[in-house]
Amino acid sequence: MTHLIKSRHGTGNRSVAHPDTAHKAVLDLADEQLIDAEIDAFPTPGPTPVHGRRGQIILGASLVLIAFNLRPVFSSLSAVLPEVMRDDGITPAGASLMTTLPVLCLGLFAPLAPRLALRFGAERSIIGLLALLALGTALRGLATVPALLLGSILAGAGIAAVNVLLPGLVKRDFQPQAALMTGMYTMALCAGAASAAGFTVPLQRLFGSWSLALAAWALPVLAVLLLWIPQALVRPAAGRSVGFIVRGLWRDPLAWQVTLFMGLQSALAYCVFGWLAPILRERGLSGVNAGLVVSVSVLAQMAACLTAPSLAVRCKDQRGINVIVVGMAVLGLLGCLFAPLSSVWLWAVLQGAGQGSLIAVAMTLIVLRSPDAHVAAHLSSMAQTVGYVLAAGGPLMVGLIHGWTGGFNATGALFVLIGLGAAAAGLGAGRVRHVRVRLEGPLQRR
């Protein structure tokens, strides 16, 4: 079974739907923001077995709590980065490496997730990945440069694979409650980042040590791991094979525009996670207030993540909204960098609204530019693999620029350049068409 899939305005082996029907299908498809990384598996995995209403509630809570633990690694280090640099004698270049490594791992290790799922199943794979995340987070408590670097790599690798596998479980296990669970999943991601940004400095004061404050974020990971293990072991190891292959995606210009948009907006996001707190502290805010500003920005991201997709799919195309939300995110960052500190809360909210809209629209574009769920999974993998590697350059350059110039003012030019690149990619990715790929299924390959 082979399909040549072209843009919706082109020709191909598929029939062309009536415009009203096609538009409704686009809206329905775009409402499902969670992409199943195991959709190519043959046979297709079913929902996680649960017993009764109580089992379903525990499963849903476990998935949401796993999502909560996927962002504290990024924002917790940022909150105490000045103390880490001072106590360990780390240069700005070294600090930029620490903020960059977890993001780089998101891109480098994401492609391994589907292979782990084929071999062990998503549920069992997440057990090992959560253990890896807990170990990497705890290693930061050793307060040495090698431990901080190794911990960042291990935690980033675990997060990368869970990032890919978890949305599929949420979607598969709670199909009738897809909208509710998508919202809770998104809120949990943002809540984890906001909590780490806001509470790491208070934890530092409580424990008298920034290293213990960083290591403390391993505790909620261990807690959800213990909750998850008995549920994950209900299903036997997978041992599935690949049922579908998508060819030609990496040669498609539209796929690259979607990927660049994903990567460049992520670069802005991880500049915020990695460096906004140190920027505000250098401008004169206390560690607690700087962390709270980042928390407010992330909470604004949460609200925008929940509303932006519905706005995006109701536009004639997504070019306009792409440019607008890029402008909001960049303008908010520039306000935090240069505007009077008395107004920093407003700029943080603007930045968060723009940034949250950016990630939500970027994920929506993956769905809208794909003709079916199989292609969407592959386009998502491409966008995350290349996009996060590209995104790692954002926090890296912020640290390097700080080291070269002795301050953060010059990073404003970097934020503008990233924004211009994201806007250009968004103009291409926002056009109403599909990627041109070739989909091969199991019947064709027998």
- Contact indicator for 249, 353 with CB cutoff of 8 Å: no
Residue 114's pLDDT is what?
85
For residue 434, what is the enclosing H or E element? none
Residue 33's pLDDT is what?
64
Q: Is residue 399 part of a domain?
A: yes
Q: Is residue 2 part of a domain?
A: no
∠ CA 213-98-80, rounded to 5°:
30
Q: Encode pLDDT of 377-426 as tens digits.
A: 889 889 999 999 999 999 999 999 999 999 999 999 999 999 999 999 99
CA distance 208 to 192: 23
Structural domain for 234, as ranges? 7-445
CA distance 115 to 315: 37
Residue 443's pLDDT is what?
42
Q: Is residue 341 part of a domain?
A: yes
**What is the domain count for the chain?**
1
Q: Encode pLDDT of 35-83 as tens digits.
A: 777 777 666 777 777 777 888 889 889 999 999 999 999 999 999 999 9
pTM: 0.86
% helix, strand, coil for the chain, step of 5 = 75, 5, 20
- Contact indicator for 12, 5 with CB cutoff of 8 Å: yes
Residue 30 has pLDDT above 70, yes or no: no
Which has more pLDDT, 115 or 32? 115
Residue 419's pLDDT is what?
97
Q: Is residue 121 part of a domain?
A: yes
Per-chain mean pLDDT for the chain:
86
Residue 241's pLDDT is what?
62
CA distance 419 to 428: 14
Residue in this structure with the two tokens 């080291």, named with its chain if needed = 403
Residue 1's pLDDT is what?
35
CA distance 341 to 284: 8
245: helix, coil or strand? strand
Q: Where are the alpha helices (DSSP H) in 69-177?
A: 72-79, 81-88, 92-109, 112-120, 122-139, 145-173
The residue-averaged pLDDT of 238-254 equals 77
325: helix, coil or strand? helix
- Contact indicator for 162, 129 with CB cutoff of 8 Å: yes
| DSSP code string of 197-244 | HHHHHHHHHHHT-HHHHHHTTHHHHHHHHHHHHHHHTTSPP---EE--
Residue 7 has pLDDT above 70, yes or no: no
Residue 71's pLDDT is what?
93
The residue-averaged pLDDT of 182-192 equals 87
Residue 404's CB is within 10 A of a number of other CB atoms, namely 11
Prior bond of 43 cis (ω within 30°): yes
Whole-number percent of the chain with pLDDT over 90: 59
Q: Give, in order, the Cα–Cα distances in Å from 98 to each of 129, 226, 385.
A: 20, 29, 20
Residue 196's pLDDT is what?
94
Residue 295 has pLDDT above 90, yes or no: yes
The CATH number of the domain holding residue 191 is 1.20.1250.20
Residue 294's pLDDT is what?
94
Q: Is residue 1 part of a domain?
A: no
Q: Encode pLDDT of 104-156 as tens digits.
A: 999 999 989 888 888 888 899 999 999 999 999 999 999 899 999 999 999 99
